[in-house]
Copies of this chain bind each other. A is one copy, B any other.
Amino acid sequence: MRVLRVDASARVDDSVTRRLADLMLEILGERVPDLSVVRREAAGMPFVDDAWVGANSTDPEARDSAQRWALAKSDELVSEVMAADVLVIATPIYNFGVPASLKAWVDQVARARLTFRDTEYGPEGLLTGKKAYVLVASGGTEVGSDIDFATPWLEFVLGFLGITDVEVIAADRGMLRGDSARQNAAEHVADVLERDWPALAEAS
């Protein structure tokens, strides 16, 4: 089973979502023998730019080398997502939205013809058959509340791309709840994996 782990926290050491993702992968590693994990840092993710937009709106067969180069990073990121069975997206909420780096990652992997396509019935997501665990932490923003613009958007855009099996695990309002926010989320991680991967553990 192939996991793509995307970390969006600016924090390197003291990150709740990184610790939760570590825990998740540790448990999965114990239950799924042939687990392979690709790690992707959202930090340093490039923004889509003029060249990217021009190349992406050009028919693939008609793209010149400069346009292929403009999309090379995006192609790499798209293939990572395509290859994954499970996504683990570890993201804080910054200023009521996802970190800009995670938005930049989504802007890179949302590709017409590759990860979604337009049909006569509207857009269709092409990243089907995948599971996504979204580990969310926040200082003050309550996940799922009216001021949480991060989680609803992330769930929607993952669904737009075909990833409709999305589980949100929240360690929210850490400024108010202290470490209990992380502890509760850790218990939630354990419960979710107990539910989702027991059979695999026995079958392998």
Contact surface of A with B, Cβ cutoff 8 Å: 10-13, 43-45, 47-50, 52-53, 94-101, 103-104, 106-107, 110, 123, 140, 147, 149, 152-153, 156-157, 160
Residues of the B chain whose Cβ atoms lie less than 8 Å from the Cβ of A98: 103
The answer to whether B96 touches A107, judged by C-beta atoms less than 8 angstroms apart, is: no
Q: How far apart are the CA atoms of A160 and B47 in the complex, in Å?
A: 25
Q: Which of B44, B96, B101 contacts A160 (CB 8 A)?
A: B96
Q: Which of B11, B44, B47, B153 contacts A97 (CB 8 A)?
A: B153
The answer to whether A157 touches B95, judged by C-beta atoms less than 8 angstroms apart, is: yes
Residues of the B chain whose Cβ atoms lie less than 8 Å from the Cβ of A10: 47-50, 52-53
Q: How far apart are the CA atoms of A148 and B39 in the complex, in Å?
A: 30
Residues of the B chain whose Cβ atoms lie less than 8 Å from the Cβ of A94: 48, 107
Residues of the B chain whose Cβ atoms lie less than 8 Å from the Cβ of A11: 50, 53
Q: How far apart are the CA atoms of A108 and B2 in the complex, in Å?
A: 35
The answer to whether B149 touches A153, judged by C-beta atoms less than 8 angstroms apart, is: yes
